[in-house]
Amino acid sequence: MYTQAIDLPNQDPDARKGEAQAPDNPDYQAQFDATLERGDFIEPKDWMPEGYRKTLVRQISQHAHSEIVGMLPEGNWITRAPTLKRKAILLAKVQDEGGHGLYLYAAAETLGVSRDALIEALHSGKAKYSSIFNYPTLTWADIGAIGWLVDGAAIMNQIPLTRCSYGPYARAMIRICKEESFHQRQGFDLLLTMMRGTPQQRAMVQDAVNRWWWPVLMMFGPHDGASTHGEQSARWGIKRISNDDLRQKFVDATVPQARVLGVTLPDPQLRWNEARGHWDFGPIDWQEFWNVVNGHGPCARERIAERVKAHEDGAWVREAALAYARKRIAAKGTPSPSTGWGEGEARSAKHEVRISGAA
């Protein structure tokens, strides 16, 4: 993603962490504003206001954490997938979620924050992730419901982000959106297959939809009036469409899909509003939303405990790989492309690459 580690002229290595630029220079600010005004992208090494940087680090890392934690509720079902075909599909999907997390961590790292610091913030509970993953996946139909509804809502949220003002984030989102489409379609396909099965299977689908519908609507975040970051993010070109508008778009798109599937959505107030040209829907239980956001979701503790355990169980692998790489360098004496480089070693001119225009 064109990272902070790249060498720039006239910068000492310690100042490369992202705070190298003068914080409140009016000329820089004017240039930054003009760039946004033109609809151009901000790139990692460009000057940016500290608030913009912080907002992006918070949003991109939360997004990355959500992808990684999102692997857990579905990973649960890999060994219990009903057929080899469904198992292969689910494996591919969970692997995608891991990949999405990595694209996003890399995008966040371009803002001068280390991967370790990001992971630590997730594990300590300092950083949040999407509250949707704190709900349990009780039956196989939940896997379909997550694909259709959760990933469907995620796509709604993410498509506008492909045009967000920060280049690395926008580029990561383009990749992610392409792959999410497979996630949503396989979910619908899974549910459709179950709906053509036994009455029990149909009941499972309806039950899963009943449980996921409201939490999915909450994924779009608080009402526009109650959202703390909305307005500033809109000015910065980070958020292009408001929470309520996205939620409405999602409901409008999903109601006809539910009809094709043959399920009802658990909202007695759901009805077509001819005058508005949109579906009206009932009030959201914001008490539940804030409860889950603040870490009291049904699976909150289990998710983080599982994450931390996976990270700690893998520590010896990370350490061994690094020790091996360093040993190979020490044995050879000189850096070579097959072994990587040791810290603080002299650069070898033949490996220098100029990438202006390559990113």
Partner 1 sequence: MDRNEWPLWEVFIRSRSGLDHKHCGSLHAPDARMALQNARDIYTRRMEGVSIWVVRSDQIHASDPEAKPEMFDPAEDKIYRHPTFYKLPPEVDHM
The burial class, CB within 10 Å (0-12 / 13-18 / 19+), for 281 is buried
C-alpha distances (whole Å) from 346 to each of 230, 330, 340, 350 are: 47, 14, 12, 12
User: Does 115 engage in binding with partner 1 (CB under 8 A)?
Assistant: yes
Q: CA angle, corner 228, sides to 226 and 128, nearest 5?
A: 110
- For the CB of residue 314, give the shortest distance to partner 1 in the complex, in Å: 12
What number of other Cβ atoms are within 10 A of residue 79's Cβ?
8
User: Does 214 engage in binding with partner 1 (CB under 8 A)?
Assistant: no
User: To which residue do tokens 């990438």 refer?
Assistant: 355
- For the CB of residue 72, give the shortest distance to partner 1 in the complex, in Å: 19
User: Does 339 engage in binding with partner 1 (CB under 8 A)?
Assistant: yes
- For the CB of residue 121, give the shortest distance to partner 1 in the complex, in Å: 14
**Which of 322, 330, 332, 334 touches partner 1 by CB under 8 A?**
322
**Which of 9, 23, 26, 225 touches partner 1 by CB under 8 A?**
9
**Which of 76, 96, 264, 302 touches partner 1 by CB under 8 A?**
96
What number of other Cβ atoms are within 10 A of residue 152's Cβ?
25
C-alpha distances (whole Å) from 65 to each of 118, 159, 359 are: 9, 19, 25
- For the CB of residue 291, give the shortest distance to partner 1 in the complex, in Å: 35
User: Does 15 engage in binding with partner 1 (CB under 8 A)?
Assistant: no
Interface segment toward partner 1; rule CB under 8 A; list 136-144, 199-207, 223-231, 317-325: 317-325
**Measured from the CB atom, is 17 or 259 closer to partner 1?**
17
Interface segment toward partner 1; rule CB under 8 A; list 55-63, 218-226, 296-304, 321-329: 321-329
User: Does 306 engage in binding with partner 1 (CB under 8 A)?
Assistant: no
User: Does 8 engage in binding with partner 1 (CB under 8 A)?
Assistant: yes
User: Does 162 engage in binding with partner 1 (CB under 8 A)?
Assistant: no
Closest CA to 253 of 156, 132, 154, 146: 156
- For the CB of residue 251, give the shortest distance to partner 1 in the complex, in Å: 31
User: Does 185 engage in binding with partner 1 (CB under 8 A)?
Assistant: no
User: Does 340 engage in binding with partner 1 (CB under 8 A)?
Assistant: yes
Torsion region of 229: left, alpha or beta (phi above 0 gives left; psi -120 to 50 gives alpha): alpha
**Measured from the CB atom, is 44 or 221 closer to partner 1?**
44
Residue 103's contacts (CB-CB under 8 Å, 6 or more residues apart) are: 1, 172, 175, 176
Taking the C-alpha atoms of residue 8 and residue 31, their distance in angstroms, rounded to an integer, is: 20
- Name the token pair of 251: 């409901």
Q: Please give the helix or strand (H or E) that residue 138 lies within, else none.
A: none
Provide the binding-site residues for partner 1, judged by CB under 8 A.
Answer: 1-10, 43, 45-47, 92, 95-96, 99, 102-103, 106, 109, 114-116, 171-172, 175, 179, 318-319, 321-322, 324-325, 328, 337-341, 343, 347, 351-356, 358-359
